Amino acid sequence: MYFKVLLSLLVYLAIGIGSTASASFPNVDTAKIQLGAVKAAVMDLDSGKVLYSKHADWVTPIASITKVMTAMVVLDSQQGLNEWVVIPKSDRETSKNAYSRMRVGSKLTRSDLLRLALMSSENLAAYSLAKSYPGGVEAFVNQMNAKAKSLGMMNTQFADASGLSTNNLSTAEDLLKMVKAAAEYEEVRKYSTTPRFTARFKSPRYSLNYGNTNRFVHRDSWDIGLSKTGYLSEAGRCLVLVSELEGRPVVMVLLDAFGKVTPLGDAQRVKRWLTTGSSGHIAGPALAYEKSKAKEYPR
């Protein structure tokens, strides 16, 4: 009797597991999703199945999405996260294109620099991490490119750690691979989804308050497991995130959108599409931008 019950239970579990996997997002129809991002990709993280792609092989600047790779290289190096790092004078690219409240010559732990780079997109924090790497910035960027190659990101190149250079280039499909790898790092998940943080510096002592650049991490309606925003005029508005939807982790890569809220609106549209079967429509400037940018890439 015991074995019959056990066998019945195993059959039930096998059927249940199989139906869950095959029935995940059963309503998805790519004809019923519209996004403002010019390049985009959506993936079921557990299965690796790409649920949606739009110009996902087009090479484009990725702005501060770069910092996700920066974080992985820092963590792979196994440099002490509690070690105090001197904030260096910024390089030409960083000083030209970004403002920082951090004081040159003061110190912050590597852990806190990593958190600020991910949650608040602090460019000088990212540069400080690269500068303190064995061999300096050049060695750090070389390792970023080596890491990208090891992940199969064959249409990706990095030129700096912050993403301020327009020579940081990738595709939506390559960034799916990067985000999938980054989701394996506890620190990347934790730091990139920190809503608010007070950084406490020394030499001299002072404190600075920071907030997350993705407002969704503050909302109970979103279960965000990883997040990174990005913006350059050449890259448009960008967002990558991992979120739990219908009980499954989903990766979204949204690149080159118009207006600060369009990537967030796109994320909402992806969520609606996966949960109801239809994303709804975009309109106005975001739609006009998407159509005009698409013409720059004749097929």
Q: Under DSSP, is residue 196 helix (H, G, I), strand (E, B) or coil?
A: strand
User: H/E element holding 240?
Assistant: strand 236-245
Tell me which of 24, 64, 128, 162 is the catalytic residue. Answer: 64
DSSP track, 48-112: --EEEEESTT--EE-GGGHHHHHHHHHHHHT--TTSEEE-PPP-HHHHHH----SPTT-EEEHHH
Going by C-alpha positions, the residue among 58, 45, 18, 34 that lies closest to residue 247 is 45
Tell me which of 121, 132, 227, 279 is the catalytic residue. Answer: 121
Is there a contact between 228 and 241 (Cβ–Cβ < 8 Å)? yes
Q: Answer yes or no: 8 catalytic.
A: no
Is there a contact between 210 and 120 (Cβ–Cβ < 8 Å)? yes
Q: Answer yes or no: 90 catalytic.
A: no
Tell me which of 39, 67, 131, 228 is the catalytic residue. Answer: 67
Q: What are phi and psi of 50, to 5 degrees?
A: -80, 120
> Which residues are catalytic, by number?
64, 67, 121
